[in-house]
């Protein structure tokens, strides 16, 4: 079960964390790289664009939408409940 911390941050329990890790482990490198840069680094959009050889900042946001859609599909296919905040 997911624990609630702060206003909107949820901490995964050990079972959920392992499922997420397995999904990431078997995902295409382009998706994992994007997630690592976006969520696990201190890089800004311009730096992420450079790291991914994306020509302009706006395209980074388009790529983010595609990557999130990919992972949403993977999580749902695995039977995970996903709370969309957008």
Structural domain spans, the chain:
3-77
List, as one string, the DSSP characters of 43-61. --HHHHHHHTT-SSHHHHH
**Per-residue pLDDT, 86:** 53
Global pTM value: 0.77
Which residues does 28 contact at the CB level (< 8 Å), separation at least 6? none
**Per-residue pLDDT, 2:** 42
Cα of first residue to Cα of last residue in the chain, in angstroms, is 22
Mean pLDDT across 75-84: 85
pLDDT in tens, 34-64: 999 998 999 999 999 999 999 998 999 999 9
b (16+ CB within 10 A) / e for 15-35: eeeeebeebeeebeeebbebb
């Amino acid at each position: 079960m997911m624990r609630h911390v702060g206003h909107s941050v949820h901490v995964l329990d050990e079972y959920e964390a392992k499922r997420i890790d397995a999904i990431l482990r078997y995902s295409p490198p382009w998706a994992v790289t994007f997630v690592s840069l976006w969520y696990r680094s201190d890089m800004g959009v311009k730096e992420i664009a450079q790291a991914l050889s994306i020509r302009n900042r706006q395209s980074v946001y388009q790529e983010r939408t595609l990557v999130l859609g990919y992972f949403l599909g993977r999580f749902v296919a695995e039977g995970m409940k996903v709370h969309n905040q957008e």
